[in-house]
Structure 1
Amino acid sequence: MLAKLEMLLALAKEQHFGRAAHSLGITQPTLSAGIRQLEEQLGVKLVQRGSRFGGLTPEGQRALVWARQIVGDSRRLRDEMRFSKEGLSGHLRLAAIPTALTWAARLTSHFTEKHPNVSFTVLSRSSIDILAMLENLDIDAGITYLDNEPLGRVAAASLYRERYVVICPADHALAIRRRLTWSDLSGVRLCLLTPDMQNRRIINRNFMEAGVEPAALVESNSTIVLVSHVVEGGFATILPTDLARFLAVGRDLALVPVADGAFVPTVGLVALHHEPYTPVFEALQKMARSIADPS
């Protein structure tokens, strides 16, 4: 039954028989047969079928909840047994918000140095995507905001408080300033992350509280694109301090701190709340706490 529950998870995620089959490395007829067999075993119809996938039935939605729990427990059991035989080993899938990628690298680098038999896949995703990927068992953990928007029932370990700097060309009018307020940025040509990014929503909140409408002439979901516009077009952008320092290395740019707004968000490591946790994830939580910035 476990393999058939994996099929249900893939179908619920992809919303398409062909794509779900491809993600599992099986044929579409094999997937369809597996879903029908699962329906026969459970005695209910799980999937609305027509000329194409029509969604899950109410029973299918309920079965999906159980499928995620059973498949997740099965994977954790496998990891637990591997630990008892091999020690800390295996592969972890981690997704991080774009503004926390330097911290993701810091965490995974420290971890693999101490535990060389553990490997990582690190993805850049929005905070909304990270929660969906955790729920769908597509990742083992995420790095995201902890206290700005609802997270649901997760285990969390704080890494740092997100504070901001303005990145601008060295000859920009703002470059000579030692510190800026949000109101100082009124009318400045800005390039910012897109509104679907939680970082942008936090920045908008700080602008709103300062009574300023930001002049965001360029928006992108890539921090590389933002800094490229600063270099090529004389724009200014606003990014978290750690990431800004990394992206500005070797470029003729100025970094000017922005005074804290009314809200300073916390970023940290999250995973679905399941006990017991695997030894690998417990070790990852411990590492996150050891490298956390207490300020």
Structure 2
Amino acid sequence: MLFRQLEYLVALARERHFARAAQACYVSQPALSEAIRKLEDELDVPLVRRGRRYEGLTPEGERIVVWAQRILADRDALKNEVGALRTGLSGRLRIGAIPTASGAVSLLTGPFCAEHPLVTVEVMADLQSDDILRQLQNFELDAGVTYLHKGLADGFRAVPLYEERYALLTTTADGLAHRTTATWAEASRLPLCLLTEAMQGRRVLDDVFAEAGVRPSPRVETDSVATLFAHVRTGRWASVVPHTWLHVFGVPHGMRALPLTEPTRTVPVGLVVTTREPGSVMARALTDLARHAGVAATLEQLPGRQGAP
């Protein structure tokens, strides 16, 4: 019963709404509310600030949620550990990825699923770096794929996967189509479709444009890398895309992918997990695989620079 009560409290803290929390836990709202009230009675502290609607957790409730997340994560880790000893690794692996790196996640999940056929994988590929670290701390993810910074916060460790580099994606009708490379300054003068400024991948691009002494003025912005390709396909736009997405899409018909120079910039991307022990058996298995998966070698070469005629 205690585990169920803790699950309900964690769901309420996440959803911030009684009905949505009940739906997430597949119970009725009265059942969820009553279970949390019983937990308050057992702990002899108020956990939820109640009014006519959900008003948040009390300070005691906020602290108990942290313990609840840890207890539930340890319970799941114990089950997975015992299951792995008995029948091999099974359960669900949860990976979070920043959008620009999500194209490379399959280079991990493919061999992981082949090595652990009883495991299912859930990939959340639209997260920001801060979201990934927060969800790792809250035991909502087993691992994340994100940009690596020199000062990665205490409590995390990283396995470098590859160096993200960038290509100018344009059409074969563009004036640069006959070139083998393009400069960032040249790219800035084109009608651009770029990621939105709220995304870290865009902020990386803006830093490189600034280093080149220019500032892009995109006419279209999006939070989807796939949408960048779709806009270039119309023939009206150009874009700057991570080379990992060329691994996914190749260079589509009628397009060109030109490596960007002056400056030539790369940004490290890696697998991030928590250092907490014993931790998730899923995270340990994925970390072991990532160390020898050869992601960087697979992504070493850009696909052919020109799409099919």
For Structure 1 versus Structure 2, the TM-score category normalised by the shorter chain is over 0.9
Select 1:267's aligned residue among 266, 269, 285. Answer: 269
Residue number in structure 1 paired with 2:126: 125
Residue number in structure 2 paired with 1:116: 117
Q: CA shift at 1:233, angstroms?
A: 3.5
Q: CA shift at 1:187, angstroms?
A: 2.0
Distance in 2 of aligned mates of 1:44 and 1:236: 58
Distance in 2 of aligned mates of 1:260 and 1:246: 26
Distance in 2 of aligned mates of 1:139 and 1:161: 23
Q: CA shift at 1:175, angstroms?
A: 2.2
Which residue type is aligned with residue 73 of structure 1?
D
Are 2:194 and 2:221, in contact at CA under 8 Å, matched by a contact in 1?
yes
Provide runs of 4+ in structure 1 moved above 4 Å: 148-152, 260-263
Instruction: Confirm whether residue 4 of structure 1 aligns to residue 2 of structure 2.
Output: no
Are 2:212 and 2:262, in contact at CA under 8 Å, matched by a contact in 1?
no
TM-score of the two chains, using structure 2 as the length reference: 0.88
Q: How many residues align?
A: 295
Distance in 2 of aligned mates of 1:57 and 1:179: 58
Report the 3-state secondary structure (helix = DSSP H, G, I; strand = E; otherwise coil) of the residue aligned with 1:176.
coil
Distance in 2 of aligned mates of 1:98 and 1:125: 5
Which residue type is aligned with residue 145 of structure 1?
Y
Sequence identity (%): 40
TM-score of the two chains, using structure 1 as the length reference: 0.92
Residue number in structure 1 paired with 2:205: 203
RMSD after superposition: 2.1
Q: Deviations over 1:79-110 (max 9, x none)?
A: 11111111122221222222222211111111
Which residue type is aligned with residue 27 of structure 1?
S
Residue number in structure 2 paired with 1:176: 178
Q: Structure 1's 21 and 274: CA in aligned 2 closer, same or farther, altered over 3 A?
A: same
Distance in 1 of aligned mates of 2:52 and 2:264: 53
Which residue type is aligned with residue 239 of structure 1?
V
Which shifted more, 14-23 or 252-261? 252-261
Q: Write the mapping of 1:154-165 to structure 2, written as runs, cut at 5 A.
A: 154-165=156-167
Q: CA shift at 1:250, angstroms?
A: 4.1
Distance in 2 of aligned mates of 1:139 and 1:53: 26
Report the 3-state secondary structure (helix = DSSP H, G, I; strand = E; otherwise coil) of the residue aligned with 1:92.
strand
Report the 3-state secondary structure (helix = DSSP H, G, I; strand = E; otherwise coil) of the residue aligned with 1:254.
strand
Q: Structure 1's 263 and 177: CA in aligned 2 closer, same or farther, altered over 3 A?
A: closer
Residue number in structure 1 paired with 2:231: 229
Are 2:185 and 2:213, in contact at CA under 8 Å, matched by a contact in 1?
yes
Distance in 1 of aligned mates of 2:213 and 2:117: 50
Which shifted more, 122-131 or 68-77? 122-131
Report the 3-state secondary structure (helix = DSSP H, G, I; strand = E; otherwise coil) of the residue aligned with 1:178.
coil
Are 2:70 and 2:139, in contact at CA under 8 Å, matched by a contact in 1?
no
Residue number in structure 2 paired with 1:39: 40
Q: Structure 1's 149 and 241: CA in aligned 2 closer, same or farther, altered over 3 A?
A: farther
Distance in 1 of aligned mates of 2:178 and 2:25: 56
Q: Which runs of 5+ in 1 are unaligned?
A: none
Residue number in structure 2 paired with 1:102: 103
Q: Write the mapping of 1:55-134 to structure 2, written as runs, cut at 5 A.
A: 55-127=56-128, 128-134=130-136
Which shifted more, 202-211 or 275-284? 275-284
Which shifted more, 110-119 or 223-232? 110-119
Select 1:146's aligned residue among 123, 145, 148. Answer: 148
Instruction: Confirm whether residue 213 of structure 1 aligns to residue 200 of structure 2.
Output: no
Distance in 2 of aligned mates of 1:152 and 1:193: 30
